[in-house]
Amino acid sequence: MRDPKKRVAILSPIAWRTPPQQYGAWETVAGNITEGLVARGWDVTLFATADSVTRAHLHSVVDKGYEEDSTVDAKVAEYLHISEAFEHAAEFDLIHSHYDFMPLTYSRLTRTPVLTTIHGFSSPKIMPIYHKYRDGYFVSVSDSDRATGLNYLATVYNGIDLSLYPLRERGGDDLIFLGRIHPDKGVHLAIEVARLSGMRLLIAGIVQDKAYFREQIEPHLDDQNILYIGPVNVKGKNELFARARVLLHLNTIPERFGLVLVEANAAGVPVIAMDLGSCREVIKDGQTGFLVSNVAGAVRAVGQIPEIDRQACRSRVQQHFSIETMVEGYERVYSTIFDLEAKRRP
């Protein structure tokens, strides 16, 4: 499917560098696609922060992510970064955007086709823009996270670099939570499960909702049974996985994809996830973890974790959620777009 004559621009977000050092799911996926395409011989230009790390051509007009450098104004940086890619559109056969709704507003000002991977709908207020540009090319990251009326070409599941998360044959003793500290991610429910199971819970991730952390998480921290570790990088994640019996992901709203579920499974860590949104696409119930509908169900599932084969967790990631599988998915989408464009402009 690879076409070495085609030049692809990957437009990554600039909240963080690509790939991010800690949190930053969209940048992680944009980076994985970029490196995966390069590995398969594509001519790729990555539009990302200047401190990004890539084997592709790097094109940057913003030095550092606006979440990592308080001197950067997010609005100014976004306008500069996105428009820069479109000003160079003629150099590419495809612009593949991972940057939310904003690039769509430039898409009709160029003849270069634009593919948008929708990593999530951040608010109902952004829908008028998707509605206006609904005839564009879209990819969803799960079948569940789709808006009606958009021209979806496919669902392409996010893929990870499995070499970063080696399989651990034996699990640890603790429950772990990994993700943004935000009510959407159900950190408070994970704490309930820990209490009811009488097990230790290790919490890691950036504090996105400060009031939630202060009011619903911090009071439970005791340095013994409920511990907050802070944000973690890949090394920190692996240390966490080494101590994990199971990852708790008791999301309170439909998950869009859930990259952390895949990372845990890759390391052999089973996942207990709320059966909302994409979780049932990512976790195979009873095989790579358990899907539950409430805290009681999660507590029961903790007792069933020994039934899970850790190798089976990793195998499923290898099959469905590797960079290679993802890139093959996108190659099919690119090919569809090139065919459609050739017909449109013979």
**Least distance between a copy of itself and beta carbon 95 (Å):** 13
Helix (H) or strand (E) holding 214: none
Give the binding range for a copy of itself (CB under 8 A) out of 80-88, 160-168, 263-271, 276-284: 80-88
Q: With H, G, I as helix, E, B as strand and everything else as coil, classify residue 135.
A: coil
3-state secondary structure the chain: CCCCCCEEEEECCCCCCCCCCCCCHHHHHHHHHHHHHHHCCCEEEEECCCCCCCCCEEECCCCCCCCCCCCCCHHHHHHHHHHHHHHCHHHCCEEEECCCCHHHHHHHHCCCCEEEEECCCCCHHHHHHHHHCCCCEEEECCCCCCCCCCCEEEECCCCECHHHCCCCCCCCCEEEEECCECHHHCHHHHHHHHHHHCCCEEEECCECCHHHHHHHHHHHCCCCCEEEEECCCHHHHHHHHHCEEEEEECCCCCECCCHHHHHHHHCCCCEEEECCECHHHHCCECCCEEEECCHHHHHHHHHHHHHCCHHHHHHHHHHHCEHHHHHHHHHHHHHHHHHHHHHHCC
- The answer to whether residue 101 forms part of the interface with a copy of itself (CB under 8 A) is yes
- The answer to whether residue 150 forms part of the interface with a copy of itself (CB under 8 A) is no
- The answer to whether residue 70 forms part of the interface with a copy of itself (CB under 8 A) is no
Q: Which residues pair with 246 in a beta bridge?
A: 175
- The answer to whether residue 102 forms part of the interface with a copy of itself (CB under 8 A) is yes
Return the number of the residue (33 or 104) whose C-beta is nearest a copy of itself. 104
Considering only 86, 157, 212, 213, the residue that binds a copy of itself (CB under 8 A) is 86
- The answer to whether residue 51 forms part of the interface with a copy of itself (CB under 8 A) is no
- The answer to whether residue 170 forms part of the interface with a copy of itself (CB under 8 A) is no
- The answer to whether residue 196 forms part of the interface with a copy of itself (CB under 8 A) is no
**Least distance between a copy of itself and beta carbon 218 (Å):** 28
User: Closest Cα to residue 44, out of 80, 35, 324?
Assistant: 35
Say if strands 226-230 and 289-292 run parallel, antiparallel, or are unpaired: unpaired
Residue type, 234: V
- The answer to whether residue 294 forms part of the interface with a copy of itself (CB under 8 A) is no
- The answer to whether residue 290 forms part of the interface with a copy of itself (CB under 8 A) is no
- The answer to whether residue 221 forms part of the interface with a copy of itself (CB under 8 A) is no
Q: With H, G, I as helix, E, B as strand and everything else as coil, classify residue 175.
A: strand
Considering only 50, 132, 166, 294, the residue that binds a copy of itself (CB under 8 A) is 132
**Least distance between a copy of itself and beta carbon 76 (Å):** 5
- The answer to whether residue 125 forms part of the interface with a copy of itself (CB under 8 A) is yes
Considering only 71, 148, 224, 319, the residue that binds a copy of itself (CB under 8 A) is 71
- The answer to whether residue 219 forms part of the interface with a copy of itself (CB under 8 A) is no
- The answer to whether residue 75 forms part of the interface with a copy of itself (CB under 8 A) is yes
Return the number of the residue (80 or 206) whose C-beta is nearest a copy of itself. 80
Considering only 106, 228, 241, 330, the residue that binds a copy of itself (CB under 8 A) is 106
- The answer to whether residue 149 forms part of the interface with a copy of itself (CB under 8 A) is no
- The answer to whether residue 157 forms part of the interface with a copy of itself (CB under 8 A) is no
Return the number of the residue (23 or 133) whose C-beta is nearest a copy of itself. 133
Size of the site for a copy of itself (CB under 8 A): 25
Which residues would be at the binding site for a copy of itself (CB under 8 A)?
61, 71-73, 75-76, 79-80, 82-83, 86-87, 101-102, 105-106, 108-110, 123, 125-126, 128-129, 132
